[in-house]
Amino acid sequence: MLDPRVTERRNPRSAAIDLASPLEIVDIMNAEDRGVADAVASQRAQVARTIELVEETFRAGGRLFYVGAGTSGRLGVLDASECPPTFGSDPEMVQGIIAGGAPALVRSAESAEDRPDGARADLSAAGVRRGDFVLGIAASGTTPYVHAALEHARSVGARTGILACSPPPAGVVDAVDVAILPITGPEVMTGSTRLKAGTATKLVLNTITTGAMVRLGKAYGNLMVDLRATNVKLRDRAERLVMVTCGVSREEARAVLAASGGGVKLAIVMQKLGVDRATAEARLAAEGGVIRRVVPGAPPPVE
């Protein structure tokens, strides 16, 4: 009997990979990877809905939690950890929870995915509550840890979603607020979901957090204007952002950044409107943090 999980089926196109040359291995894998973006695109409406839900969650003071085991859990933790340096977001806004805890990030803890009680304990320890959004990530769609996490999240009033690359049980899909199901098909190596399923998962998570953060006003055009200038490279980037968007010298950029408390977004509004920090903060707050709703026109065109 065939395993109902698509990710556990054998791929006929890679059946002879054990006899393939290095170049043939590359070609086999590349050919399989070409379909991943299409699988993700098939879920465009569901991903967009998730962005809406996450934006609503953030604006109401809630948090986004990714929950998964193995590769799925690691990818969730990775995406969450990259939000603060990319968008200047509070580390509490997006959090990753992996079965087996921090040690599972660098050493396999496969048995942890079979422990529903572990999921309930982990979400309780993280303080998941009403107003949060919990996205369960389960490449196979059947991970007990993830299912238990979603049940617990619903029990405390949190919104929930599932991201899977093989159709999960109908009951799971019916119970969540949104289901993202990019079906990537059998892996090159049977059951190795770090491959196509992992790539699809990374693409979806990239889009969710980038989309939600953009909607919160953490971009001006395609410029990251909520970065935290915590080192020499980022201080230089902050100065250049103000220089480019406002057409000022580096000295002027440094001065307005200092007056803004180091905030690039505030500095841009202050410089363009000729207002002080308090006024810029009030204008941005009134417009949901989006620069373009406060400052007329687009940022300078790409050279």
Q: Which of 32, 55, 113, 187 is catalytic?
A: 113
For 171-233, give the DSSP string: HHHHHSSEEE-----S-SSTT-TTTHHHHHHHHHHHHHHHHHHHHTT-EETTEE-S----SHH
Task: Look up 110 and say whether it is catalytic.
Answer: no
Q: Given 8, 52, 56, 82, which residue is catalytic?
A: 82
Separation between Cα atoms, residue 76 and residue 70, nearest integer Å: 10
151 is catalytic: no
Distance CA 275, CA 283 (A): 10
Alpha helices (H) along the chain: 22-33, 36-41, 44-59, 70-87, 116-126, 144-155, 170-175, 196-215, 232-246, 250-260, 264-273, 277-286
Q: Is the distance from CB of 245 to CB of 256 less than 8 angstroms?
A: no
CA distance to 148, 243, 267, 271, 294, per residue, from 275 (Å): 51, 17, 10, 7, 12
Active site residues: 82, 113
